[in-house]
Homo-oligomer: A and B are copies of this chain.
Amino acid sequence: MASAVHGTVAASLSNTLDLNASETILAFELQAWSAAQLTAIEQALSRWVASSIDAPAPAGLIDAMRYAVLDGGKRLRPLLAMAACEAVNGQPQAALRAGCAIELIHAYSLVHDDMPCMDNDVLRRGKPTVHVQFGEAQALLAGDALQAMAFELLTPDDGSIDAATQARLCRLLARAAGCRGMAGGQAIDLASVGLPLDSAQLHEMHRLKTGAVLQASVMMGAACGSAPPAALQALSDYGAAIGLAFQVVDDILDVTADAATLGKTAGKDAAHDKPTFVSLLGLTSSIDYARQLLGQALSSLQASGLQNTQALEALADRLVNRQH
């Protein structure tokens, strides 16, 4: 059933969201830009999560951490950090660390979220989830260790990032990940299964659960350079809009895509009776809403007064027009 509607809705989604006349050019530029960034990101993640060579760490734990982080994932968060850094002419090496740190937080949240006491998912990115592969205890520890490692990445002692930037990055990441960010959103999610949430409550849940870390990706990238307060506010607005758009599209794809495309169990939110934007607004209005949010994100970038926002524009576009 899911795959039967897939083609139609995906097509309607792309058509509806065709906001930008230069989309083809942007898409082309994004592909080239992303390819270069992704090479750096994958190499960095592999090096940093593997550094048991330098200082031995228990092999089983490192294996589970690497399994959780490497060989999968769209790396949207690191790409956002790199793009935001570019927009403020910041230091790419700092943004690479920041982006990888955020990706470790994202990875740990997936590991814990998949565990039997949470969503009890057995499939992630087309592979068995970490607790299926390594056992629950190792999955719990791997998630915990990945969170700590995120803050290790942000605080190198080699002089490559100045102390003020390190402190700012840790501050942004800790707030986005904690009880008034991602973990708080997950707690609302946990408490809301089977309950009717109104629009404000659903927004609040997703602002925390997914939005906070996506917005932090943008702001951490921006923290690797300098920009006037008005530009930072515009980037923050951009981050809030794409953070929300990401979840709206996720909810759309949960009912329209199949597991093979998603690389994870499809239709699980509906099956778990979880409130979603689609269950609240309906499919058509959800697609309209994603389109509006993309418009808001692009307007914010225009209002920022920053010049090098092409990558941020293209990422927002791709985030909304993705099919998995």
* Interfacial residues, chain A to chain B (CB-CB below 8 A): 52, 55-58, 60-62, 65, 108-109, 112, 115, 117-118, 135-138, 140-141, 143-145, 147-152, 154-155, 157, 163-164, 166-168, 170-171, 173-175, 177-181, 183-184, 186-188, 190-191
Q: Could you tell me if A190 and B149 are in contact, using CB atoms closer than 8 angstroms?
A: no
Task: Give the top 8 A-B pairs by smallest Cβ distance, nearest first.
Answer: A148-B178, A117-B136, A61-B187, A151-B174, A155-B171, A145-B183, A166-B167, A58-B187
Q: Could you tell me if B55 and A149 are in contact, using CB atoms closer than 8 angstroms?
A: no
Residues from chain B with a CB closer than 8 A to the CB of A170 are 151, 154-155, 166-167, 170
Please pick, from B108, B138, B191, the residue contacting A58 in the complex, using a CB distance under 8 A: B191
Interface of A is mostly: helix
Residue of B nearest to A117 (CB): B136
Minimal beta-carbon separation of A267 from chain B (angstroms):
21
Residues from chain B with a CB closer than 8 A to the CB of A109 are 144
Please pick, from B157, B168, B174, the residue contacting A171 in the complex, using a CB distance under 8 A: B157
Please pick, from B145, B168, B184, the residue contacting A61 in the complex, using a CB distance under 8 A: B184
Q: Could you tell me if B179 and A151 are in contact, using CB atoms closer than 8 angstroms?
A: no
Q: Could you tell me if A178 and B149 are in contact, using CB atoms closer than 8 angstroms?
A: yes
Residues from chain B with a CB closer than 8 A to the CB of A52 are 179-180
Q: How far is the CA of A149 from the CA of B177 in the complex (A)?
A: 9
Please pick, from B57, B135, B137, B154, the residue contacting A179 in the complex, using a CB distance under 8 A: B57
Residues from chain B with a CB closer than 8 A to the CB of A57 are 179-180, 184
Minimal beta-carbon separation of A66 from chain B (angstroms):
11
Between-chain CB contacts (< 8 Å), 23 pairs: A52-B179, A56-B180, A57-B180, A58-B184, A58-B188, A58-B191, A112-B144, A117-B136, A117-B140, A138-B190, A141-B190, A148-B178, A148-B183, A151-B151, A151-B173, A152-B171, A152-B178, A154-B170, A155-B168, A155-B170, A163-B167, A166-B171, A167-B167
Q: Could you tell me if A148 and B181 are in contact, using CB atoms closer than 8 angstroms?
A: yes
Minimal beta-carbon separation of A93 from chain B (angstroms):
16
Please pick, from B65, B135, B174, B187, the residue contacting A138 in the complex, using a CB distance under 8 A: B187
User: Taking each of A57, A144, A149, which has the highest tally of chain B beta carbons within 10 Å of its own beta carbon?
Assistant: A144
Q: How far is the CA of A323 from the CA of B55 in the complex (A)?
A: 35
Residues from chain B with a CB closer than 8 A to the CB of A179 are 52, 57-58, 61-62, 65, 145, 148-149
Residue of B nearest to A119 (CB): B137
